[in-house]
Structure 1
Amino acid sequence: MNWLDKLERKFGRYAIRNLPLYIVMLYAIGVVLNIMTKGSYYYYVALNPYMILHGQVWRLLGFLIVPPNANIIFIIFVLMFYYSIGESLVQVWGAFRFNMYIFLGVIATIAASFIVYFIYPSTMIFMDTFYLNLSMFLAYATIFPEMRVYLSGIVPVKVKWLAWVDVALLAYNFMTGNIGSKVAIVVSLLNFLLFYISSRNYKRVSPKEIQRKRAYRKASSAVSNKPYRHKCAVCGKTELDDPDLEFRYCSKCNGNYEYCNEHLFTHTHVK
């Protein structure tokens, strides 16, 4: 059992279940502000340690509304894509692990900005969630390498190739960027590597498997209120707690251990 398993057993019930939706909603607010202020809002919400230490404490969370950089025509599709990425990661990792990935990334980004500021106080730093979003996409591409996306709605490209482009972009930005960019890149990659190592036993999931799981949850949403027939061996939830939960037995565990859809791929096998 690794450190994530231990934390999930203790605090898993506090996880935000719809975090991908809330992330996209925050970005939508940023899009509206961007239109209303013609982009100038960024300099009032971006993560800036100097401004925070001089009273603008809202920047500690305000930078979370800065949306991915995209043309206003395509921003809706970009936000839908990020929502899909988040939901897919929740399907494989579970809500708690996805929460941990995002919140650790946010905390690490804030910490990194202050470290850079205290080392180089003369450097003007403005940071947002750009590299955190890239690290989330890398996690998605690692689990769903064969998934296809359509560039400009026309050209199909597998996400694993886009991930390599992102890696090249990170390398270029690291070599040419300022100290703030370099630290932000290192932090985002450390977050990705931390979860990759902790989750290296997860199997890669095909798009068809995700669609099948979603269809099953919809079909099983009318579970009646009677003594439960299924119970997760990790979190203890039953179909009475959430009628949308899907339960499966693990063939790799020694015994009849049943798991909900959040822990089917993330539990420690019983030997």
Structure 2
Amino acid sequence: MDRIIQIFEKYTEDYLPTGITRYLIFGQIAAFVATAAYPAFRTAFILQGDRILNGQWWLLITYLFQPLSESPLFAAFVWYIFYLYGTVLEKRLGTAKYVFYILIAYVANALVALLFPSLTLTNGYLYTSLFLAFAFMFPNFQLLLFFVLPVKIKWLALITAGTIGLTFLASAFPTKVLIVASFSNFLLFFGKDLLDTVRGNTIDTPIMKEKKPTRDPYHVCYVCKTNELDNPDMQIRYCSTCKPTTCYCGEHINGHTHRGL
């Protein structure tokens, strides 16, 4: 897997634009406005194999921009969260690896659509796979849920994973295949680490108690240099107004001078 990623990075890193998350969100906002004005357009963002086989190949593109909610308020919240974790993920993985992660689920979903032509696919699972990747890498990241309630991302990830697991158990075979396909990227990228987590051999994960780390920290406060390894209870915040997006602890996120402005 690492070799395939290296080859992909070698041939694409000079051509891929940065800020992939922003492009996806802008596309979803445009789709939201279009479907709000013309509700009949909603079908143009739903992936179905039989429609692709009948010549509607553009569904393979528009599918990525299907709005994640029809409610303006909830859609704005989802875009905010997606921008937050998507930007950090791209920064941590690198643009090429981030795009490759998305492509795995995207291609897998397209194959499922062709395998089960009558199945209707949305992009919800695909974008959830990005959320789970972020939560697995940064479990102690603290999020203000609905801009009010502070909660660590690992608890939201556990609830999400549990809901997906129940859906998998209760669903028909085509939907089971869809779920596996949608999260194949997560399994390929983090499957080994996930198994180690279950066995109790890794640290800083959503479900296991932490041990002494042997890796470099992911989050380092720009001001005081504290990190999640030295202080597991560190409140991790990122400021997207700073250029580039910058990490701060809970003490220094408020009142800091924005970088790069």
Give the structure-2-normalised TM-score: 0.71
Q: Is the 1:64–1:129 contact (alpha carbons within 8 Å) kept by the matching residues of 2?
A: yes
Query: 1:174: Cα distance to partner?
Result: 1.0
2 CA distance for matches of 1:12 and 1:187?
25
Note if 1:83 corresponds to 2:77. Answer: no
Q: Is the 1:143–1:204 contact (alpha carbons within 8 Å) kept by the matching residues of 2?
A: no
1 CA distance for matches of 2:12 and 2:121?
30
Q: 1:199 to 1:33 in 2, by over 3 A?
A: farther
Corresponding residue of 2:20: 19
1 CA distance for matches of 2:177 and 2:220?
34
1:101-116 aligned within 5 A: 101-116=101-116
Q: Percent identity?
A: 24
Query: 1:75: Cα distance to partner?
Result: 1.6
Q: 1:146 to 1:51 in 2, by over 3 A?
A: same
Corresponding residue of 2:159: 165
1 CA distance for matches of 2:155 and 2:26?
28
Give the structure-1-normalised TM-score: 0.69
1 CA distance for matches of 2:153 and 2:42?
29
Larger radius of gyration: 1
Q: 1:217 to 1:42 in 2, by over 3 A?
A: closer
What one-letter code is carried by the residue in structure 1 that aligns with 2:109?
T
3-state SS of 1:73 partner: helix
1 CA distance for matches of 2:170 and 2:191?
28
**Post-superposition CA distance 1:169-209 (Å, at most 9, x none):** 11121122333422221012211111225899975622736
Q: How large is the Cα RMSD of the aligned pairs?
A: 3.0
What one-letter code is carried by the residue in structure 1 that aligns with 2:161?
V
3-state SS of 2:116 partner: helix
2 CA distance for matches of 1:161 and 1:88?
19
Q: 1:167 to 1:155 in 2, by over 3 A?
A: same
1:206 to 211, 219, 230: 219
Which 10-residue stretch deviates more, 169-178 or 155-164? 169-178
What one-letter code is carried by the residue in structure 1 that aligns with 2:172?
N
**Post-superposition CA distance 1:35-84 (Å, at most 9, x none):** 1134x433233111111111222212121121213632232222121112
1:54-65 aligned within 5 A: 54-65=54-65
**Post-superposition CA distance 1:209-261 (Å, at most 9, x none):** 68599968599xxxxxxxxxxxxxxxxxxxxxxxx9xxxxxxxxxxxxxxxxx
Q: Displaced runs of 4+ in structure 1, greater than 3 A?
A: 197-204, 207-219
With a CA cutoff of 8 Å and minimum separation of 6, indicate the structure with the bigger relative contact order: 1
Corresponding residue of 2:183: 189
What one-letter code is carried by the residue in structure 2 that aligns with 1:143?
M
For structure 1, which runs of at least 5 residues remain unmatched after alignment?
118-123, 220-243, 245-271
1 CA distance for matches of 2:114 and 2:49?
6
Corresponding residue of 1:30: 31
Query: 1:152: Cα distance to partner?
Result: 2.3
For structure 2, which runs of at least 5 residues remain unmatched after alignment?
195-213, 223-236, 247-259
